[in-house]
Structure 1
């Protein structure tokens, strides 16, 4: 369990830490299973308001664990499919986690590690962090990571960085859309603290609903179908207990019930 550390503070902010610093927080099947179990537990806990994902040591995550990769060399196709399904489940579990998620990228993120960043709602990285998708240098492809990374950086950029395998810095990652902000290392914790405080001002159910709204609207063109979906969602959310409380609090010039005094 020490390979994935979980702490939850009094505000309901959970911090999930990849804790294999000697391996640059690379993931094997065991640590991927632990991450999935951790995310699933947080998803079901109504006291958790936000989730911060980070790493220990100098790297956020180097992606795949070397020992695990050695085992894959001698694996048959069925074993390879099982491994791929496990990693797909990991990324999908993080991507659909019904809480706001923040990637605290305190160091470099490569391959699967960068895909974890792409699955978070907000990503803040130190300016010295590096990123890459170097699977092609091993004669393989970043297929499991591709859907999430392509959504973040677009098809054109994905074609370049998937094909070249080159590394790029945090400034480039921000311009591409893989991260939202790059800061100096000494500013990282203060930036994360400020961001989390902003999240705690928001209705927990509203944040959950807006994540679903974005996911459902993304594949739809602007038109009758997307408009109908938007109308249904806003009517339902406004009619909910949280929606009514938030509007009343605004009109009465007081804090809503989910904001601590």
Structure 2
């Protein structure tokens, strides 16, 4: 198990990634991005993993990019600067492509690049008082890299307003645009997250992974290729050991085997 400086990882069937630089409001530097990427690439190799919870220490989930790092990166030659910027792509991709559900629990301020991390997660729950902002234009740059993950979630229409104005918005707007699934008071949030994780673990482990993989492939496919994909997937899963166990458990009025062994 790796040791990290900017994040903390709690390992288990439901693992946690905790942003752990509250003294800088969890601003993300190149090191932060590399550590998150490393953690999620390790998760991808864990066949027993059921879900990952992403949360943060301190009063803010993430203030965006570490400005000291961004200033240094701006002085790099173009090719080095490009490689440096790819760190953010790698981080968001490692989260989005994690084979199990990734749930974000966000609070406080979530600005700039922090919204790329949020958009890469599968399920997002927020404290009702949280605030979000695509703040890059205030710094003379744009939400460039994170657009690959944000725009598919919120659409070009919402992006036009909130990219161009860099307005701060609350959780009602975040829900409407598709960045957040649910917002609640802090005392209500933990039971909601627990319920989501329990529901995930009631499902077939492979079925959950297959559902996430299907949703990742689906958007870019022409209709007929979508049809072929869903037919091939259903036929394969109906005949799989997990599918057969699920059918048998239902008919025999018992819990399937995976529930007996879940954490």
> 2:88 maps to what in 1?
87
> 1:58 maps to what in 2?
59
The answer to which of 210-219 and 164-173 deviates more is: 210-219
- TM-score, normalization: structure 2? 0.94
Q: Is 2:212 the partner of 1:211? A: yes
Q: Is 2:129 the partner of 1:128? A: yes
> 1:260 maps to what in 2?
260
Q: Deviations over 1:207-240 (max 9, x none)?
A: 111111112221235x432212110111111122
Contact 1:109 1:130 (C-alpha < 8 Å) held by counterparts? yes
Q: Is 2:44 the partner of 1:7? A: no
Stretches of 4+ aligned residues off by more than 4 angstroms: none
> 2:155 maps to what in 1?
154
Superposition deviation, residue 2 in structure 1: 3.5
* SS of match in other structure, 1:75: coil
Superposition deviation, residue 107 in structure 1: 2.3
- TM-score, normalization: structure 1? 0.95
Structure 1 unpaired stretches of 5+:
none
CA distance in 1 between counterparts of 2:163 and 2:219 reads 23
> 2:202 maps to what in 1?
201
Superposition deviation, residue 89 in structure 1: 0.6
> 1:171 maps to what in 2?
172
CA distance in 2 between counterparts of 1:4 and 1:227 reads 41
Q: Is 2:141 the partner of 1:140? A: yes
Structure 2 unpaired stretches of 5+:
none
* SS of match in other structure, 2:202: coil
* SS of match in other structure, 2:44: helix
Contact 1:106 1:188 (C-alpha < 8 Å) held by counterparts? no
Q: Is 2:96 the partner of 1:69? A: no
Q: Deviations over 1:100-151 (max 9, x none)?
A: 1100112221111111111111000001111111111222111110021111
Q: Is 2:46 the partner of 1:45? A: yes
CA distance in 2 between counterparts of 1:212 and 1:47 reads 17
* SS of match in other structure, 1:123: strand
> 2:181 maps to what in 1?
180
CA distance in 1 between counterparts of 2:186 and 2:156 reads 30
Please, what is the CA RMSD of the aligned residues?
1.3
* SS of match in other structure, 2:68: helix
* SS of match in other structure, 1:242: helix
Contact 1:108 1:131 (C-alpha < 8 Å) held by counterparts? yes
> 2:22 maps to what in 1?
21
Superposition deviation, residue 37 in structure 1: 0.8
* SS of match in other structure, 1:90: helix
CA distance in 2 between counterparts of 1:236 and 1:242 reads 11
* SS of match in other structure, 2:117: helix
